[in-house]
Amino acid sequence: MKILVTGGLGFIGSHTVVELQHEGFEVVIIDDLSNASIDVLEGITKITGTKPHFKALDLKVKADVQQFFEAHKDIAGVIHFAASKAVGESVQSPLKYYENNINTLVYVLQELSQLTHKNFIFSSSCTVYGQADELPISENAPVKPAESPYGNTKQIGEEIIRDACKVDQSLNSIALRYFNPIGAHSSAEIGELPIGAPQNLVPYITQTAVGLRDQLSVFGDDYPTKDGTCVRDYIHVVDLAKAHVVALQRLIASKNKSNFEIFNLGTGKGSSVLEVVKSFEKVSGTKLNYKIVARRDGDVTEAYAETTKASNDLGWKTELTLDDAMASAWKWEQKIRNK
């Protein structure tokens, strides 16, 4: 079966392509390379022994999207990662985010509606919950007003898909709300490769340890948490990638209970910023230069997933630990710096 992965050279997309190929799917990747490197294609091929089809394409150009789907009418499913994803940048450039994250979603759904097989997996986010009223956060938790244009695009994206599914009962979609993806493939052939200063904790840790950054700033140690630092649910990217494959297989096998489903993807366990730092120091044997600084605007105190629904309905749960993720991230960082 031929599966389209948009944004398939990105961090989560590339790991998902690997897992799809391991399961025997034929993969076609679309990526505009605005936040990814063509070198990732080589990394995927080294891991799986199969080079996925690749098309450099800007999904904001509707005519190009139409042309692509015209040439690939045999696609059996779409996993949609392609989107801008930096919270801070979205606050500075909201219109860029709305164009890139909303228009492209609409164009892909419009073309998908013309296909025989209308199976769609959407890359969503736990940011839709904001600071949840209860922990752990279940799929029934209310969606809070977004803290950023990025978060808002995920909320709007889900609403668009829900509306499309109401009108077209043959369109089957799953929105996967992930918590905090970290780590890299154990081969160190692919991993997280932020362009410019990292927006996420783990690449900032590894870049500090390797000497690329002077110091890691820990934003606040006066939160009402176990050690005063923010708590998040850090999930290994390989576990996350496998969940996308399981979700796709659910739709292909018509095991979904409705034509629009939502699942949280996390470990179900919260780890504080300092616990992540300690895990890194343990697996790397490297002392990290970090400093406690003032709180950062927009950070929620604590967020971790209720994982019962994903476990019971999808038949998926995480297998890799925080230490596994930190060790793989460090191995990847050292490899790319030694290049």
Q: Please give the positions annotated as active site.
A: 150
Q: Residue 174 is inside which H or E element, if any?
A: strand 172-178
- In angstroms, the CA 175 to CA 158 distance is 7
Q: Are 82 and 121 in contact (CB under 8 A)?
A: no
Q: Position of tokens 């493939």?
A: 185
Q: Are 171 and 308 in contact (CB under 8 A)?
A: no
Residue type, 212: L
Residue 56, classified by CB atoms within 10 Å of its CB into exposed (0-12), middle (13-18) or buried (19+), is exposed
* First CA to last CA distance, the chain: 36
Cα separations in angstroms, 42 against 295, 309, 329: 40, 36, 19
- In angstroms, the CA 174 to CA 119 distance is 8
CB atoms within 10 A of CB 1: 17
Closest CA to 58 of 107, 92, 117: 107
Strand partners for 29: 5, 54
Radius of gyration over every alpha carbon of the chain, rounded to an integer in angstroms: 19
Q: Are 70 and 18 in contact (CB under 8 A)?
A: no
- Torsion sign (Cα): 75, 97, 86, 125: negative
**In degrees rounded to 5, what are phi and psi of residue 105?**
-60, -45
SS3 264: strand
